[in-house]
A and B are shown apart, each in its own frame.
Chain A
Amino acid sequence: MTASDIKKAEQVSRARSLIMAVMAVVLLIQGALGFGDEATSMTPMLRHGLWGLTILFWLIILATGGWLRLRPSVRSLINDEMSLVNRSKALQAGFWTAMVLALAIYFGSMGWEVSLREGLRILVDLTIAAALLRYAWLELR
């Protein structure tokens, strides 16, 4: 481990947190704007496929810390003890967001028509956004 590894890890870690924060906001905006909106030039299959891939991508980042192509020494620094604790806290935030949303959608659906697909999309978008925001906040403070 060298001083340049420390410096590189700091830059990558900061960039990762900022990208996560931006992505969380994008997910929220995309969800708010696109929810229930079928008026798009993309075919439904492509739209749903892209959404699914985006979610899968961020789930992998949340699970692994991402940036897999970095040198092992830099990767171990950006996923050091504090980062792992922060990631764990972020996943906790995601879990509680999912539970609260699931309850809200369950009871909300009694008075408001919501399809299974719409409900799941709200749940997944907001859960991932909450986890990403929490992680970014913990890392950037």
Chain B
Amino acid sequence: MAERLYNRLLAIRSERGLTQAGLAELVGVSRKTINTVENGIFIPSTLLALKLARALGRPVEELFSLEPDQIGD
């Protein structure tokens, strides 16, 4: 079964006024990693997903979802 992880990282990061490099610095990964997560190319580990959620001050389920319409409910 083909599954995809949807995310609102770009929208929430923009709301917080953070650049990719700024978020990368907060989380401790490269800017490229943030970019590939935002574009759905790279699926982050649970650890990284939780770090992203903490850095953005949102629950992790608000950032990631298996269904596109569940994001941001």
Mark interface residues in B26-60 (1 if CB within 8 Å of A CB, else 0): 00111111001000011011011000000000000
> Do A81 and B45 touch across chains, with their CB atoms under 8 A apart?
yes
> Do B42 and A6 touch across chains, with their CB atoms under 8 A apart?
no
> Do A81 and B33 touch across chains, with their CB atoms under 8 A apart?
yes
A48 within 8 A of B: no
B24 within 8 A of A: yes
Tell me what chain A mostly uses at the interface: helix, strand, loop, or mixed: helix
> Do B33 and A82 touch across chains, with their CB atoms under 8 A apart?
yes
In which size bucket is the chain B interface? 10 to 19
> Do B32 and A2 touch across chains, with their CB atoms under 8 A apart?
no
B21 within 8 A of A: yes
A-B residue pair count with CB separations less than 8 angstroms: 45
Q: If A1-B25, A82-B36 touch, does A6 touch B30 (CB 8 Å cutoff)?
A: yes
> Do B25 and A10 touch across chains, with their CB atoms under 8 A apart?
no
CB-CB < 8 A to A85: which residues of B? 42
> Do A77 and B29 touch across chains, with their CB atoms under 8 A apart?
yes
A80 within 8 A of B: yes
In which size bucket is the chain A interface? 10 to 19
One of B22, B28, B31 near A10 (C-beta < 8 A): B31
> Do A1 and B42 touch across chains, with their CB atoms under 8 A apart?
no
> Do B25 and A3 touch across chains, with their CB atoms under 8 A apart?
yes
One of B22, B29, B41 near A80 (C-beta < 8 A): B29
CB-CB < 8 A to A82: which residues of B? 29-30, 32-33, 36, 42
A-B contact pairs, 23 of them (CB 8 A): A1-B25, A1-B28, A3-B21, A3-B22, A3-B25, A5-B25, A6-B25, A6-B30, A10-B30, A13-B30, A76-B28, A77-B29, A77-B30, A80-B28, A80-B29, A81-B29, A81-B44, A81-B45, A81-B47, A82-B36, A85-B42, A139-B32, A141-B41
A-B residue pairs, 5 tightest by C-beta: A82-B33, A80-B29, A77-B30, A6-B21, A82-B42
> Which B residues have a C-beta under 8 Å from some C-beta of A?
21-22, 24-25, 28-33, 36, 41-42, 44-45, 47-48
